[in-house]
């Protein structure tokens, strides 16, 4: 029997703190007009001190679990796509797994720049089709505001923070994730890079003084690359899915720049109503941009069962990724979601208490074994 991988749940989170172009113009030499004309961005959400990649990922994941109406215990694997992990290690995915009480799940982070979420969906679909797993949580989450140089107007106005998530599940019903394409050209790695803090330039006073802990981008080159690969990647997945371009119901591109999206749409000959754009409200949220856009498209009733979707990302690496999805999930009603959120709160409280219990147990065990060793050392052998 054939196995298919369907998206059955989705969720997003954006920090409540909104920073408009005019807010930025008060702090640096830029204007609302420049940012809007060159990018289409009007505002972005910026994380508060208490928010971070893991906290936002957990919010989005909970929302996805609620729409899917599953228990976290059903999740086999948690994948977090991010370029701004909570720590270099442990993986942000492990923190999410613990906070959700997804006790059966494996967890790892995936780093493929802004293409990360689509890479994650492709991996999830492959693992489901190969019968390795049944239920996979894929998250794209970023706190880009923490790696931006807020004195560099050429980069800081472009990005924002947020998270989006999807639950991918096995089914014997045709549809869902049809096909995907993943690409990389590492020769362009220097075009979009966070040079400091890794094995090449470990964090230290030197890296901080030379601002190597901030993201650097050659905007023009990335622009040229993006306009080329977006349409190409979309064409490949449409062909592999056995569709034609005019059969696409909704194109959900990475939300980096409205001009890049327009150029791809022109190459693909897509009418404006077939393209989803929300970057005016979020800026570029890297790996979070496509799942946030998918959630907003569903909220706006622009995705219906039977629709053919194409998701395309591009970004640091350089990487690109596209997937074709035959949408099958129905949108749950608001009362059902409220009820599920209420049961969820209790569940997550319990998961938090359990994790705390295990932490305490580990400490107690360590103390007991230290004391036992000390006593054994002092006690002469008989």
Beta carbon of residue 255, minimum distance to ligand UT7 (angstroms, whole number): 9
Residue in 94, 114, 156, 295 annotated catalytic:
114
Residue among 36, 129, 153, 213 that touches ligand UT7 (CB under 6 A): 153
x/- mask, ligand UT7, residues 94-123, rule CB under 6 A, reads: --------------------x---------
Q: At what angle do helices 258-268 and 219-240 cross, to 10 degrees?
A: 40
**Active-site annotation holds for 254:** yes
Ramachandran area for residue 162 (φ above 0: left; ψ -120 to 50: alpha; else beta): left
- CA-based angle 180:185:187, to the nearest 5? 175
Q: Which is nearer to ligand UT7, 153 or 302 (CB)?
A: 153
Residue among 157, 279, 295, 351 that touches ligand UT7 (CB under 6 A): 157
- CA-based angle 328:334:337, to the nearest 5? 75
x/- mask, ligand UT7, residues 280-299, rule CB under 6 A, reads: ----x-x-------------
Contact between 278 and ligand UT7 by CB under 6 A: the answer reads no
Asked whether the beta carbons of 129 and 4 are under 8 A apart, the reply is yes
Asked whether the beta carbons of 34 and 63 are under 8 A apart, the reply is no
Residue among 3, 36, 38, 216 that touches ligand UT7 (CB under 6 A): 38
- Strands 106-110 and 77-81 come out as parallel
Residue 256 DSSP class: S
Contact between 220 and ligand UT7 by CB under 6 A: the answer reads yes
Choose the stretch contacting ligand UT7; rule: CB under 6 A; options: 134-142, 152-160, 234-242, 297-305: 152-160
**Active-site annotation holds for 213:** no
Asked whether the beta carbons of 316 and 113 are under 8 A apart, the reply is yes
Q: How far apart are CA 241 and CA 179, in angstroms?
A: 6
Contact between 303 and ligand UT7 by CB under 6 A: the answer reads no
Asked whether the beta carbons of 43 and 281 are under 8 A apart, the reply is yes
Question: How many angstroms separate the first and last alpha carbons of the chain?
Answer: 68
Q: In a 3-state reduction of DSSP, which class is residue 18?
A: strand
Contact between 219 and ligand UT7 by CB under 6 A: the answer reads yes
Residue 269 DSSP class: T
Residue among 3, 18, 32, 34 that touches ligand UT7 (CB under 6 A): 34
Residue in 6, 45, 59, 254 annotated catalytic:
254
Q: How far apart are CA 209 and CA 207, in angstroms?
A: 6
Choose the stretch contacting ligand UT7; rule: CB under 6 A; options: 87-95, 119-127, 138-146, 151-159: 151-159
Residues 237-266 that bind ligand UT7 (CB under 6 A): 256-257
Contact between 154 and ligand UT7 by CB under 6 A: the answer reads yes
**Active-site annotation holds for 156:** no
Asked whether the beta carbons of 108 and 91 are under 8 A apart, the reply is yes
Catalytic positions:
114, 254, 284
* Residue ranges binding ligand UT7 (CB under 6 A): 30, 34-35, 38-39, 114, 153-154, 157-158, 192, 217, 219-220, 222-223, 226, 256-257, 284, 286, 315
């Amino acid at each position: 029997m054939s196995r298919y991988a369907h998206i059955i749940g989705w969720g997003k989170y954006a920090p409540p703190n909104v920073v408009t172009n005019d807010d930025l113009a008060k702090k640096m030499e830029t204007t609302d007009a420049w940012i809007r004309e060159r990018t289409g961005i009007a505002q972005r959400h910026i994380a508060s001190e208490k928010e971070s990649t893991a906290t936002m990922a957990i919010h989005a994941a909970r929302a996805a679990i609620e729409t899917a109406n599953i228990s976290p215990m059903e999740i086999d694997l948690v994948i977090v796509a991010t370029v701004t992990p909570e720590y270099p290690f442990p993986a942000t995915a492990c923190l999410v797994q613990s906070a959700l009480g997804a006790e059966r799940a494996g967890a790892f982070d995936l780093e493929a720049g802004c293409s990360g979420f689509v890479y994650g969906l492709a991996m999830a679909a492959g693992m489901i089709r190969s019968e390795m797993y049944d239920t996979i949580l894929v998250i794209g989450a970023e706190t880009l505001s923490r790696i931006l140089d807020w004195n560099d107007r050429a980069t800081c106005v472009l990005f924002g923070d947020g998270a989006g998530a999807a639950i991918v599940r096995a089914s014997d019903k045709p549809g869902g994730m049809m096909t995907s394409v993943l690409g990389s050209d590492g020769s362009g790695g220097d075009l979009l890079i966070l040079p400091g803090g890794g094995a090449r330039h470990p964090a230290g006073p030197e890296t901080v003084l030379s601002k190597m802990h901030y993201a650097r981008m050659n905007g023009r080159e990335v622009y040229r690359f993006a306009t080329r690969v977006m349409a190409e990647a979309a064409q490949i997945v449409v062909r592999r899915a056995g569709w034609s371009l005019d059969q696409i119901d909704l194109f959900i591109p990475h939300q980096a720049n409205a001009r890049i999206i327009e150029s791809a749409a022109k190459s693909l000959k897509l009418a404006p109503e077939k393209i989803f754009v929300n970057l005016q409200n979020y800026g570029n949220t890297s790996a979070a941009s496509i799942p946030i856009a998918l959630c907003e498209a569903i909220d706006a009733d622009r995705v219906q069962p039977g629709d053919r979707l194409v998701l395309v990302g591009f970004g640091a690496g350089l990487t690109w990724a596209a997937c074709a999805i035959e949408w099958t999930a129905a949108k749950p009603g608001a009362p059902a979601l409220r009820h599920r959120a209420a049961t969820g709160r209790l569940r997550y409280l319990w998961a938090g208490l359990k994790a705390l219990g295990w932490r305490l147990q580990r400490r107690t065990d360590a103390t007991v074994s230290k004391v036992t060793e000390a006593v054994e050392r002092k006690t002469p052998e008989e």
